[in-house]
A and B are shown apart, each in its own frame.
Chain A
Amino acid sequence: MSTPNQSGWKPGSPVQDHNAMTGPDTVTGNRALMLEEPLIFEIGTTETTGVDLPEATSGSNRLGGLERSDAIGLPGLSEPETVRHYTRLSRQNYAIDLGLFPLGSCTMKHNPRLNEKVARMPGFADVHPLQPVDTVRGALEVINELAFWLIDLTGMHGVAMSPKAGAHGELCGILCIRAALEARGDARKVILVPESAHGTNPATAAFAGYEIEDIPANSDGRVDLDALKSRLGPDVAGVMITNPSTLGLFERDLKAISDAVHEAGGFVYCDGANFNAIVGKVRPGDLGVDAMHINLHKTFSTPHGGGGPGSGPVVLSEALSPFAPLPYTARTKDGVVHLVEEEDADAFSEEHFGGRMEHFGRMTAFHGQMGMFTRALAYILSHGADGLRQVAEDAVLNANYILRSLEDLLDAPFGHSGPCMHEALFSDKGFAEDISTLDLAKALIDEGYHPMTMYFPLVVHGAMLVEPTETESKAALDQFITALRSVAKRARAGDESLKTAPHYAPRRRLDETLAARKPVLAWEEPSPPGGTPTMSEQGGR
């Protein structure tokens, strides 16, 4: 029996017909399933609502004479229109659920849906942060149980759970360091940060009142231990080191670095953005780290949500733990988990810690990202000690597989220094003269992939940082490698069509310079000739 598909083409096979995407113009601007969607301000009206509420009755009020009388200008849509508006918008996004998302240093792994279900249980989603503690013991247990795992996985002494994201956690760690130094009357001025660090590191240290100095790197991309040692002294509060580094390398000398920094009276902050590579394999506490934030949205897979919310608990060494901010949870000998806030911090420290707890203050209202804690805990329990170790191994295996499958076509500046960790770093060396990393990245979009991290770290020219994560199958990696090899060949050959990519995305290349030169950051009524009609007079759809 013959198959109706005479050509034998199936998904994954190349498409060579250049004319497939060209056809007649459409009056709607749509292209079948590629649907254009106006702004809510263009389709909604201030008189439309998708919620049934009682009609407002006028009469007495107690608003202090401050009733709002101006037109607010908020458009409304009915429920069907609302669902369609956002569903149409969603289809203009790339996402992990659609394919490999190799954004280096961001750890875009699969988000298990069990975690979404768990976070929505009423005992977690529908509790107020200031309920009497006896009505939220289970929530406190979640925080405490997660804290226990984070401490154990990192080999540290304590953890501050409240920071809202990675950068907020960095700030928390640096403030702990500053508080510890001040407690011993030792004001120091300088934090050392390598050039390869995430921009948040120097920004955080500056925010906390420190001067920033670079740590030099050696020829294989790692911290230059001797240069670092010669810079240490009584003015250096600490160092901020990313391990594994943003070059995708493990800092072999981290223990020696820590020893030297401690010897000089400083502290070691480790940026834990790349913890996914070593979770269950190495404990940062064994390497002398004093503080490290953990991005729960990376290593422990809470969803990235189009840019947050994140969560950035900070694990702390014994020297820094007493300075952790309020609030914190603590399980006492009777098995009860307590919430320690301003109300009872001093008394609790006196009773249970011999007065050693000297919190530096508070970083946020309430208790941190509970909705992320429940998800991260479900993720950790699902994997267990054995599964988490496998996570790190598979993440590193996948990255090395990509590194070795591409290094003949893409320059791998540190490929000679041994295996990479969870991400593979390439440069634009070998591209035709007028082809850039940006061009390659945009061409990858046409192949159906989100590009890798571009132009970071800054120390590598035209950097491309590829982090596949452990949740990709070999088949998915092989297809990605095929696509990237093809694009890399075109970049080397100087294929001009790269410079106009992407061709098949919902938008062609967007003009970022124009956006910055004449910023339009909010909807404004177009001003038609004669009069200023309200949104409702302009009349909806």
Chain B
Amino acid sequence: MRYLPLTDADRSAMLEKIGAPDVDALFVDVPEEARLDGPIHGLPMHASEMAVEKHMRRLSKKNLAASDAAFFLGAGAYKHHVPASVDHIIQRGEFLTAYTPYQPEIAQGTLQMLFEFQSQVAHLYGCAVANASMYDGSTACWEAVAMASRVARGKKRKVVLSGALHPHYAEVVKTMAKFTDDEIAHAKPAMQAEPDNAGLMARIDDDTSCVVVQYPDILGRVTDLQPIADAAHEKGALLIVVNTEPVALGAIKSPGEMGADIVVGEGQSIGVGLQFGGPYLGLFAVRDPKHVRMMPGRLCGETQDAEGKRGYVLTLSTREQHIRREKATSNICTNSGLCALAFSVHMTLLGEKGLRQLAAENHRLARIAADKLAQVPGVSVLNDSFFNEFTIRLGQDARTVVRRLAKDNVLAGVSLGRLFPSHEDLSDGLIVAVTEATTEEDIDTLVSALKEALA
């Protein structure tokens, strides 16, 4: 077996040193009746690199890759161009095959990168401090809700969720709340040009620990967060803002600037790629440094070594499970280190100038798509405001239309029926995302495919 270096001669010599007659003698503590007497039945034996590659390629080919289609899916995962150097750097063995930097003297590469990453995220979000990443946006969202409960010292039990929060994120929060006894106030999204902020703010009361709002929201709408922040703060609640498209923040105000207390999001757009939903990259930041010690997840901080040289270490770990056990701020152990590296490299390549250009190009193409789709008979565009995705209504079940168009390699968008299956009245909605990777030809393909399908 090509990955196992020991030879039979090695094994014999080692057993002799150990003083065991055979390898089974090392498994003596396993009860006899539980020991398997040979390779597990029903599974194939080892295979060559070539054979495995062939098998996996056959499975890969059963999928329609985004790049082989006219592609308009978003709703929490976006297709962006990732520069080739990003993938090259994350495949360097020193990054790829290292672990959590428990020994900082020989992990400065990962640690400095994480410090830079934290700084980039904090700047992007308009916050003071970001952590070294979480699993993904949806779990970061739940961790933010749990943190708000800690800030309220468990005295406030109500969590107000915007109806226009990604339904998977809302489901994660609701699932966890079942086990922590938080009360969730949630409504379905209002199918209007503007989100129902008045309705949202009316649900905030003295028992509310936090309000969770997505920006831009699941339907693509961009709304001023300041009034919501003011309403939350008036009742002593925190405003948690969820962002699933970090590229947007190269064009629109940061959540921190508008009073968000905790900003979380999905970082996949920058550097990570689609990957059928994972691994992705949870971003987590707080606006006010006083909340740092309540944060979940790893934090990297600056310090110096015995010779006075600047260096970096994981810090404030007294919040974490390996020290605090059942009193930890979270049970989280790993972060999403390699995805954080991909994000950081891509963001460094972009820089502020590139990010603004990238955002502008996304918005330009999205405007073209919205204008052209608005001309298709039977289609209406819901949004007044949007960044790179918006919602259209088709006057019929969008799921059916999406499946039909997929047969012609047009991946038209994400149907609201798939995301909100229990709300029949949303089923004619389709979320359409447009990025710099979308061509005007793709947009024309979608327009004519929809014309045909709706005729």
Contact = CB atoms under 8 A, between A and B. Distances in A.
Contacts of B13: 474
Nearest to A420: B26
A53 B358 contact: yes
Contacts of A103: 99, 102
B274 A128 contact: yes
A53 B354 contact: yes
Interface in B223-237: 223-224
Contacts of B317: 516
A348 interface: no
Interface string A412-443: 00000011010000000000000000000110
A153 interface: yes
B97 A363 contact: no
Interface residues of B, number: 219
Contacts of B5: 471-474, 476
B6 A131 contact: no
A207 B292 contact: no
B187 interface: no
Given A283-B36, A309-B279, A397-B11, A365 B76 contact: yes
Interface in B101-153: 101-110, 112-113, 115-116, 118-120, 122-124, 126, 128-130, 132-133, 135-139, 146
Interface string A179-217: 000000000000000000011101111111100100000
A372 interface: yes
Interface string B296-333: 00111111111101011101111011111111101111
B431 to A, nearest CB: 9
Nearest to A45: B351
A136 B406 CA distance: 11
Contacts of B101: 306-307
A72 B60 contact: no
With a 10 A CB-CB cut-off, give which of A53, A54, A341 has the most chain B CB atoms: A53
A523 B13 CA distance: 54
Contacts of A74: 120, 123-124, 347, 350-352, 355
A362 B277 CA distance: 14
A231 interface: no
Contacts of A403: 18
B83 A309 contact: no
B47 A384 contact: yes
Interface in A271-297: 278, 280-283, 286-287, 297
A138 B384 contact: no
A297 B105 CA distance: 24
Contact of A72 (B62, B124, B133): B124
Interface in A343-384: 343-344, 360-372, 374, 377-378, 381-384
B62 A141 contact: yes
Interface residues of A, number: 204
A39 interface: yes
Interface stretch (A4-12, A15-23, A91-99, A488-496): A91-99
A330 to B, nearest CB: 17
Contacts of A44: 348, 351
A367 to B, nearest CB: 5
A366 B361 CA distance: 27
A539 interface: no
Given A68-B253, A138-B60, A209-B181, A306 B331 contact: no
A203 B325 contact: yes
A89 interface: yes
B55 A381 contact: yes
A200 B321 contact: yes
A401 B4 contact: no
A127 B419 CA distance: 18
A445 B105 contact: yes
B15 A397 contact: yes
Contacts of B418: 130, 341, 343
Contact of A137 (B41, B62, B132, B180): B62
A387 B2 CA distance: 10
Contacts of A234: none
Contacts of B107: 92-94, 306
Contact of A520 (B90, B252, B302): B302
Contact of A418 (B29, B47, B58): B29
B411 A515 contact: no
B99 A108 contact: yes
A360 B177 CA distance: 11
Interface in A122-181: 122-132, 134-139, 141-142, 145, 149, 152-153, 164-168, 170-171, 175, 178
B62 A306 contact: no
B45 interface: yes
Interface stretch (B200-208, B338-346, B438-446): B338-346
Contacts of B355: 72, 74
B108 A474 contact: no
Contacts of A130: 73, 75, 77, 414, 418-419
B252 A79 contact: no
B267 to A, nearest CB: 12
Interface in A491-518: 500, 502, 505-512, 514-516
A249 B402 contact: no
Contact of B96 (A68, A111, A325): A111
Given A56-B356, A90-B92, A306-B100, A523 B367 contact: no
Interface in A231-276: 249-250, 252, 255
B274 A95 contact: no
Contact of B28 (A46, A326, A393, A419): A419
A394 B1 CA distance: 12
Given A74-B350, A86-B113, A505-B106, A519 B292 contact: yes
A278 B77 contact: no
Contact of A523 (B53, B71, B119, B178): B119
A127 B65 contact: yes
A501 to B, nearest CB: 9
A471 B249 CA distance: 45
B130 A118 contact: no
B436 A53 contact: yes
A401 B348 contact: no
B455 interface: no
B349 A77 contact: yes
Q: Which of B26, B76, B97, B178 is packed against the most chain A CB atoms within 10 Å?
A: B97
Contacts of B123: 72-74, 522
Contacts of B119: 41, 522-523
Contact of B179 (A53, A209, A255, A523): A209
A106 B333 CA distance: 12
A278 B39 CA distance: 12
Contact of B29 (A55, A249, A456): A249
11 contacts: A54-B360, A55-B357, A62-B367, A65-B385, A66-B253, A95-B93, A130-B419, A167-B333, A199-B323, A384-B45, A508-B309
Given A90-B89, A306-B107, A445-B103, 5 more contacts: A62-B383, A75-B352, A95-B93, A122-B68, A152-B43
Q: 5 tightest A-B contacts by CB?
A: A76-B351, A361-B175, A366-B277, A138-B62, A305-B338
